[in-house]
Amino acid sequence: MNQAIQKSGRAEAARVDHLTVEERIELGKSARSEVPRSTHAAWEPRRDRPSPVELLEEQGRTRVPELVPIRYGRMLVSPFTFYRGAAYLMASDLSAMPRTSLQAQLCGDAHLSNFGVFAAPDRRLVFSINDFDETHPGPFEWDVKRLAASFAVAGRDRGFDEREREHVNLAVGRSYREAIARYAAMPNLDLWYTRVDAEELRTELGKLVTAKERKRADKNLAKARTKDSLRAFSKLTEIVDGTPRIVGDPPVIVPIEDILGDRLDEFETFLHSVLRSYRRTLSGDRRRLLERYRYAHAARKVVGVGSVGTRAFIMLLLGRDDSDPLFLQFKEAEASVLEPFLTESEFANHGQRVVEGQRLTQAASDIMLGFIRATGVDEVERDFYVRQLWDAKGSALVDIMGPTVMGLYAGICGTELARAHARSGDALAIAGYLGTSDTFDRAIALFAESYADQNERDYETLKRAVDSGEIKAEEGV
């Protein structure tokens, strides 16, 4: 059944692509009769809305039990960090609202901290979406709403007043609408080659911000450039008996021998199987590169907020000598939070789902991006995707942004989201739906504020559950 649905969806997309430009624009305009643009402003929790704690606990059942309290602790830092971990809650909420039929490959968790800079294969820094754990096809507006609401939540976290937040929130919808129209007018190859160059972006933004803000941005960009395997090697390893080893920092970093104990010998066989499986998902030239490295050590590492509790490992490989490291991250991929509310993934392996979604929508992807399915020493089969641990990755400094800078950043993120959707969806139809007025922009801005209210209520619900002892949270980790 699922394969039939997916084949039907791909066939439908092919038919749309072969319509004329005018027909595709008209297709988008006609979608307004089903879901008027002003409809997107509404947010009202349904009567049978699941408890946020129930949904979070449901997610926690497949995760490492001792790490789930760390996830709750990180979510409790503020309503903003709660929002970062609440993609499943929002997917559930969006599923109960009117939705368009205009599909794109969604990020699935398009909040503002999931955008950033990283190194393209040519080593130039680019700006794009940089988290694809929840990627899945769906209504384009779900990503836009998640992004806009993240700015509303962040604006409150920064103490912005209502007018300042409105300016920021409007920038998301406006930039998305204007960008999708530009991308819709591009030839296909031009669209595919388009990317946001971090240096060009820095130059343009430098004209619009204060000297102090420009200095902060330059420092953050310079820091991103230094984040590579050599930097990870210097920060995360030590020499033990003449051999580099990852330093333990429980519970955040736990060396593999501390997890497996007397079953460590079994890991050797498992490891070779994993690397062979991963190698097959790389192109020939990248397989040759990987073959130049040998295994040195591995550890489990807690990452992010929403991802805490899923299994994530870092692996140290060494090349020509001990000063030539390659750090890889193996991150568990479960079903996207969107799948229960849309369709199942067309990919049997969720690691492949993440990788294919990333390659389709990201401006440029990590050369070591791949995936595996592995049966661990616990005899449980799981999917993982693989990437470099640090590849000049950097995120915006949200906690020091003023209203002007956050408004500019909202515009950049909205534009980049539009580029991702234009590559994976029908930009002409989406542009036809959005039109040239600010109707959609204003609706999205209103939704963002209403959903920020809901996020605060859900945050308080989690806080009460922890205070009452219903669930356990480990803070400060």
**CA torsion through residues 70, 72, 78, 83, sign:** positive
Domains: count for the chain: 2
Has residue 16 been placed in a domain? no
Residues 379 and 436 reside in one and the same domain:
no
pLDDT, mean over the chain: 93
Q: CA triplet 13, 177, 130: central angle to 5 degrees?
A: 75
Of 388, 413, 435, the one marking the end of a domain is 388
- The predicted-structure confidence for 388-420, as pLDDT tens digits, reads as follows 998 888 888 888 899 999 999 999 999 999 999
Q: Kindly state whether residue 426 falls inside one of the protein's structural domains.
A: yes
Whether 341 has a pLDDT exceeding 90, the answer reads yes
Q: Which of 4, 73, 13 is nearest to 476 (CA)?
A: 73
**Higher pLDDT pick, 25 / 400:** 25
From the number of C-beta atoms within 10 Å of its C-beta (0-12, 13-18, 19+), residue 28 rates as buried
Dihedral Cα 5, 10, 14, 16, nearest 10 deg: 60
Question: For every residue of the chain, which 3-state class applies, written as one string?
Answer: CHHHHHHHHHHHHHHHHCCCHHHHHHHHHHHHHHCCHHHHHCCCCCCCCCCHHHHHHHHHCCCCHHHHHHHHHHHCCCHHHHHHCCHHHHHHHHHCCCCCCCEEEECCCCCHHHEEEEECCCCCEEEEECCCCCCEEEEHHHHHHHHHHHHHHHHHHCCCCHHHHHHHHHHHHHHHHHHHHHHHCCCHHHHHHCCEEHHHHHHHHHCCCCHHHHHHHHHHHHHHHCCCHHHHHHHHEEEECCEEEECCECCCEEEHHHHHHHHHHHHHHHHHHHHHHHHCCCCHHHHHHHCCCEEEEEEEECCCCCCECECEEEEEEECCCCCCEEEEEEEECCCCCCHHHCCCCCCCCHHHHHHHHHHHHCCCCCCCCEEEEEECCCCCEEEEEEEECCCCCEECCHHHCCHHHHHHHHHHHHHHHHHHHHHHCCHHHHHHHHCCCCHHHHHHHHHHHHHHHHHHHHHHHHHHHHHCCCCCCCCCC
Q: Confidence class of residue 6 from pLDDT cuts 50, 70 and 90?
A: very low
Domain end position, chosen among 359, 388, 417 = 388
What is the pLDDT confidence band of residue 39, given thresholds at 50, 70 and 90? very high
Find all residues with CB under 8 Å of 166, minimum gap 6, and list them. Answer: 445, 449
Can you tell me the mean pLDDT for 42-46? Answer: 95
More confident position, 212 or 468: 468
Cα 79–chain centre separation: 19
Asked whether residue 430 falls in the same domain as residue 287, the answer is no
Considering the domain architecture, whether residues 243 and 125 belong to the same structural domain is answered as no
CB-neighbour burial class of residue 344 (10 A; exposed 0-12, middle 13-18, buried 19+): middle
- Mean local confidence (pLDDT), 133-158: 98
Are 57 and 133 members of one domain?
A: yes
The pLDDT, as a whole number, for residue 391 is 86
> Could you tell me which residue, 453 or 392, shows the higher pLDDT?
453
73, 175: one domain: yes
* Cβ pair 129, 417 in contact under 8 A: yes
Please tell me the pTM assigned to this model: 0.94
Sequence-ordered list of residues with C-beta below 8 angstroms from that of 21, at least 6 positions apart, any chain: 428
- Same domain for 155 and 49, yes or no, is yes
pLDDT class of 7 with cuts at 50, 70, 90: very low
* Same-domain pairing of 145 and 262: no
Query: What's the confidence (pLDDT) of residue 43?
Result: 97
Closest to 61 measured CA to CA, from 348, 380, 309: 309
Same domain, 264 and 214: no
Q: Which residues pair with 326 in a beta bridge?
A: 317
Is the previous residue joined to 403 through a cis bond, with omega within 30 degrees of 0?
Answer: no
Helix axes 52-60, 68-75, angle to 10 degrees: 140
Supply the pLDDT for residue 13.
53
Residue 29 lies in a domain: yes
**Is it the case that residue 8 has pLDDT exceeding 50?**
no
The first and second tokens of residue 133, run together, are: 């754990």
What pLDDT does residue 248 have? 96
Tell whether 135 and 270 lie within a shared domain.
Answer: no
The yes-or-no verdict on residue 2 having pLDDT over 80 is no
- CB-CB contact of 381 with 374 (8 Å): yes
Asked if the model's pLDDT at residue 167 lies above 80, the reply is: yes
Contact assessment for residue 11 and residue 346, using Cβ atoms and an 8 Å cutoff? no
Q: Is residue 3 part of a domain?
A: no
**Distance (Å, whole) CA 454 – CA 456:** 5
pLDDT band for position 54 (cuts 50, 70, 90): very high
What separation in angstroms does the CA of 286 have from each of 30, 292, 366, 383, 456? 46, 10, 11, 21, 46
Q: Is residue 62 part of a domain?
A: yes
User: Are 241 and 306 members of one domain?
Assistant: yes
Q: Tell me if 1 is assigned to some domain.
A: no
Whether residue 374 lies inside any domain: the answer is: yes
**Nearest C-alpha neighbor of 392 from the set 175, 194, 198:** 198
CA neighbor of 247 nearest in space, from 294, 314, 305, 309: 314
Residue 361 in this model has a pLDDT that exceeds 90: yes
pLDDT in tens, 248-301: 999 999 999 998 888 887 787 788 888 999 999 999 999 999 999 999 999 999
Q: What is the pLDDT of residues 178-199, one digit of tens each?
A: 999 999 999 999 999 999 999 8
Task: Tell whether 42 and 176 lie within a shared domain.
Answer: yes
Query: Which of these three, 388, 409, 428, is where a domain ends?
Result: 388
Domain housing 378: 229-388
Pair 262, 353 in one domain:
yes
C-alpha span between 423 and 140 (Å, rounded):
12
pLDDT of residue 149: 98
261 domain residue, yes or no: yes
Q: Is 70 exceeded by the pLDDT of residue 4?
A: no
